[in-house]
Amino acid sequence: MPEGKLCNKQPVTTKEQLDALLADTRGRVYYEEMKSLEVDKEKLRNSLKASLKSRTKTWLEMCAHCGLCADSCFLYTVNGRDPKQVPAYKIQSTLGEIVKRNGDVDNEFMLMAMETAWSKCTCCNRCGMYCPYGIDMGIMFGYLRGLLFSQGFVPWELKIGSGMHRIFHAQMDVTTEDWVETCEWMAEENGEEWPGLEIPVDKEDADIMYTCNAREPKHYPEDLAEAAILFHLAGENWTVPAEGWEQTSLTMFAGDWEGCKQQVLNVYSAIERLRPKRVIGTECGHAHRGTVVEGPYWAGRPDGQPPAPYIHYVEWIAEALRTGKIKVDPAKRIKEPVTLQDSCNYVRNHGLAMVTREIMSYMVEPGYFIEMTPNKEHNYCCGGGGGFNGVGMYRAQRNVALRKKRDQILATGCKLVIAPCHNCWDAIRDLEEEYKIGIRWSFLKPLLIKMAIVPDHLKPKEDEE
Amino acid sequence: MYEFITGPLLWVVFAAFLGGLAYRVVWYVKGLHWQLDRVAYSAFPADGAKGAVRSIFFWLVPFGTRSWRIKPGFTAIFFGFHIGAVLVPLFLTGHAVLLHERFGINWPSIPQGLADWLTAAAIVSLVLIGLRRISLPEVRIVTSWYDWLLIVLAGLPFVTGFVAVMHWGDYQFWIIAHILTGELLLVSIPFTKLYHVVGFFLTRAQLGMDFGIKRGGRKGRNMPW
Ligand code: SF4
Ligand code: SF4
Ligand code: SF4
């Protein structure tokens, strides 16, 4: 069974394999090898037998072919209503065929399925809300990705991402040492402005354990500092684990279910080790989805719950503002038209729509918060979800996908977009770069720090004199 | 002939229809898998039930969901067909009489005039559903011969029954044609994707439970279908 050296059915588990992949610029060799990667039909059949149960089977079989889902998919509308972008068509022509042919598909088919699964669906789950039968293509594409991953048909970046998780327990090569050092560095760096600022590592029995996205320590350490500052302001008893701090899951985007499980168990074991009262994750949509919403199932927890209450950062901010742990200076509220990106991963998929609105009511001068249309659960994906942002080969398609969000933002007339999700934040940054509509975008943390009232005892000494 | 097809054959047809659907339900429910579906079905029965009921209810109400509201034309023909397709076969006076004669069951019925209008609406709607299939590219691309077969299967009993009741032709011929196509439809339901007559409730309940248990319901947010 011909398999490539870089492109094959085995997940990346060693540093050598990972480095070899990374050295292959833009995956040139990898994709070349993929063209002759054979399908292990036996394995595919067995996967179907083991994991295709009545829910998904019924979704595929019973679809009325009514096309009502077409308009619900932003990729359909944004691509000139191309019939090939109709959600039902996309899934029937890929997963539907694999099932119909019971795994008897060839390389060419798998290449087409890969392109469909990663460049024609962001797993935003919007179509599921619009289908009379509740057929959720986002879930099925997630499943299809799993089948494709197990056969080696996965975009290069996501093969790497999965490997990163398997090796570093993080989506980027951040080691435990790097992480702990970054925590110390950030606490020190900001200590002057915030006397007493700490990033306590591995403190047991704290009220809060904080988890984040590896790109924070790797590329945006100020994000970590901001989280620390806000916990400090709110007087929280918190900690970060030395191991198990990474909340994201590129393995989920890649369809690497085994990797998903390993990743989430790594976080859960930190919870069990440190016994925090609850866990708070950073402003990231898919990290929350991966670790809080789906994670418990990968980990095999029958109640579908993580080992301790685990909330999204927006829930903590709303609580801090509501209870007055953090107070906003009314004079510093946002006094310009501002809009809000609803992240599919915790709004449509975890019911947090009203939480972010509550935050807006504290942070934005009344009258200045403008909703996108549609919004909340009905909002459109930013355009870069499900790994779309990160796959170079599909950059052109991703840029087209951004137009939906661009037009939604333009229609609000706002120049400031709040995006409490790393992926959405990236997509909105990229859409500004691509389409130059003159907007700014931000997480909640920096905005809140700017407007929070700092109690005297937390101010630097000089100020007191 | 009439005696046979409204007697023993009808028994067999009902048995296949009900038995087949029962099998579908059992197969579906047994195939639900908390870990593979990633829904803790049995851990939170109350949240699950609430989500399921809401998910079914809003979709049964014409214009009850955003999806129905933004597609008013489709919604009109969808309900135009389904209201007639459910009410007329179940509560037609002629059917009630037959049930009483054959099985001794007292069955309620709706006025004949209403039944006629509902049938006419169902037939017109079905034609429009067919035209929609041809004319909209986003529907055409997912349409196969199977979908056409089902439209014909579903339409025949209504057309033949309507012609018979209206006495537009040889009554005997049309009523026999109606009974046979009706029986054919009943038998086909469990064995084709027309099993949606139960499947709709199952898949809607499943997704409702998903949202009620996992995707937001337990955060106090009801899915705004
Ligand atoms: S709306 Fe649902 S039933 Fe209709 S075509 Fe789309 S997936 Fe199939
Ligand atoms: S999940 Fe989102 S992107 Fe994928 S088909 Fe459905 S609406 Fe389109
Ligand atoms: S990136 Fe944001 S908007 Fe896009 S799919 Fe993910 S959560 Fe949704």
Q: 3-class DSSP state for residue A95?
A: helix
Could you give the count of Cα atoms lying within 13 Å of A409 in the half-sphere of its Cβ? Answer: 31
Clarify whether residues A304 and A173 are in a common domain.
yes
Contacts of B26 in chain A (CB under 8 A): none
Clarify whether residues A240 and A353 are in a common domain.
no
* Interface touch B203/A354, C-beta < 8 Å: no
Note whether B4 contacts A: Cβ–Cβ < 8 A. Answer: no
A392: containing domain: 326-451
What does the pLDDT read at residue B25? 98
* Interface touch B28/A352, C-beta < 8 Å: no
Contacts of A63 in chain B (CB under 8 A): 142, 193
Best CA proximity match to A270, nearest among A177, A203, A185, A324: A203
CATH number for A275: 3.40.50
Nearest CA in chain A to B194: A62
Task: Give distance in angstroms: CA of A252 to centre of ligand 2.
Answer: 16
Asked if B223 and B217 touch (Cβ cutoff 8 Å), the reply is yes
* Interface touch B141/A51, C-beta < 8 Å: no
Task: Give distance in angstroms: CA of A121 to centre of ligand 2.
Answer: 5
Best CA proximity match to B160, nearest among B184, B137, B188: B184
* Interface touch B74/A294, C-beta < 8 Å: no
What does the pLDDT read at residue B103? 82
Q: 3-class DSSP state for residue A418?
A: strand
End-to-end alpha-carbon separation of chain B, Å?
Answer: 49
pLDDT at A415 exceeding the cut of 80:
yes
Q: Which residues is A452 bridged to in the sheet? A: A328
Nearest CA in chain A to B210: A349
Q: For residues B54 and A49, what is the distance between their CA atoms, to the nearest angstrom?
A: 32
Q: For residues A207 and B80, what is the distance between their CA atoms, to the nearest angstrom?
A: 57
Note whether B193 contacts A: Cβ–Cβ < 8 A. Answer: yes
Retrieve residue A130's tokens: 């619009």
Task: Give distance in angstroms: CA of A67 to centre of ligand 1.
Answer: 5
DSSP string, A6-48: SSSSSPP-SHHHHHHHHHSGGGHHHHHHHTTPPP-HHHHHHHH
Mutate to test the pocket of ligand 1, among A55, A56, A61, A65 (most ligand atoms within 8 A of CB): A65
Q: 3-class DSSP state for residue A312?
A: strand
Clarify whether residues A179 and A313 are in a common domain.
yes
Tell me how many domains chain A contains.
Answer: 3
Note whether B38 contacts A: Cβ–Cβ < 8 A. Answer: yes
Give the Cβ contact number of residue B64 at 10 Å: 14
Mutate to test the pocket of ligand 2, among A69, A72, A75 (most ligand atoms within 8 A of CB): A75
What does the pLDDT read at residue B92? 96
Clarify whether residues A148 and A75 are in a common domain.
yes
Mutate to test the pocket of ligand 1, among A73, A92, A135 (most ligand atoms within 8 A of CB): A135
pLDDT at A464 exceeding the cut of 70:
no
Task: Give distance in angstroms: CA of B136 to centre of ligand 1.
Answer: 14
Q: For residues A5 and A144, what is the distance between their CA atoms, to the nearest angstrom?
A: 24
Backbone dihedral angles phi then psi of residue B49, each to the nearest 5 degrees: -65, -45
Q: Does the beta carbon of A73 lie inside 6 Å of ligand 1? A: no
**Ligand index nearest the alpha carbon of residue A379:** 3
Asked if B99 and B6 touch (Cβ cutoff 8 Å), the reply is no
Clarify whether residues A308 and A330 are in a common domain.
no
- Spell out, as residue ranges, where chain B has pLDDT lower than 70: none
Mean pLDDT for all residues in chain B? 96
Quote ipTM for the complex: 0.96
* Interface touch B38/A88, C-beta < 8 Å: no
Q: 3-class DSSP state for residue B22?
A: helix
Report if residue A54 sits inside a domain: yes
The protein residue with its alpha carbon nearest to ligand 2, atom 5, reads: A87
pLDDT at A440 exceeding the cut of 70:
yes
Clarify whether residues A401 and A435 are in a common domain.
yes
A108-136 average pLDDT score = 98
What does the pLDDT read at residue A463? 52
Q: Last residue of a domain, which of A281, A305, A321?
A: A321
Question: CB within 6 Å of ligand 3 — which residues?
Answer: A 122, 124, 285-286, 343-345, 381-382, 384-386, 421, 423-424, 427
Q: Does the beta carbon of A344 lie inside 6 Å of ligand 2? A: no
End-to-end alpha-carbon separation of chain A, Å?
Answer: 76
Q: Last residue of a domain, which of A321, A351, A380?
A: A321
Note whether B34 contacts A: Cβ–Cβ < 8 A. Answer: yes
Mean pLDDT for all residues in chain A? 97
Note whether B73 contacts A: Cβ–Cβ < 8 A. Answer: no
What does the pLDDT read at residue A465? 47
CATH number for A114: 1.10.1060
Q: For residues B179 and B185, what is the distance between their CA atoms, to the nearest angstrom?
A: 10
Note whether A327 contacts B: Cβ–Cβ < 8 A. Answer: no
Clarify whether residues A233 and A199 are in a common domain.
yes
Mutation site, A65, A249, A264, A376, interface B, largest B CB count within 10 A:
A65
Clarify whether residues A412 and A354 are in a common domain.
yes
Report if residue A1 sits inside a domain: no
Bond from prior residue into A217 cis (ω within 30 degrees of 0): no
Task: Give the whole-number percent of chain A exceeding pLDDT 70.
Answer: 99
Q: Does the beta carbon of B142 lie inside 6 Å of ligand 1? A: yes
- pTM as predicted: 0.96
What does the pLDDT read at residue B1? 84
Domain B2-213 fold is Fumarate Reductase Cytochrome B subunit (1.20.950)
Nearest to A86 among B30, B44, B141 (CB): B141
Clarify whether residues A174 and A315 are in a common domain.
yes
* Interface touch A378/B225, C-beta < 8 Å: no
Mutate to test the pocket of ligand 2, among A63, A68, A122, A125 (most ligand atoms within 8 A of CB): A122
Report if residue A280 sits inside a domain: yes
* Interface touch A86/B55, C-beta < 8 Å: no
Contacts of B217 in chain A (CB under 8 A): 351
Report if residue A464 sits inside a domain: no
* Interface touch B36/A354, C-beta < 8 Å: no
Note whether B191 contacts A: Cβ–Cβ < 8 A. Answer: no
Mutation site, B142, B153, B214, interface A, largest A CB count within 10 A:
B142
pLDDT at A287 exceeding the cut of 70:
yes
Clarify whether residues A331 and A411 are in a common domain.
yes
**Ligand index nearest the alpha carbon of residue A380:** 3
- A226-275 tens-digit pLDDT: 999 999 999 999 999 999 999 999 999 999 999 999 999 999 999 999 99
- A181-206 tens-digit pLDDT: 999 999 999 999 999 999 999 999 99
Task: Give distance in angstroms: CA of A319 to centre of ligand 1.
Answer: 39
Q: Does the beta carbon of A73 lie inside 6 Å of ligand 2? A: yes
Domain boundaries, chain B: 2-213
Clarify whether residues A175 and A313 are in a common domain.
yes
Clarify whether residues A196 and A150 are in a common domain.
no
Give the Cβ contact number of residue A219 at 10 Å: 11
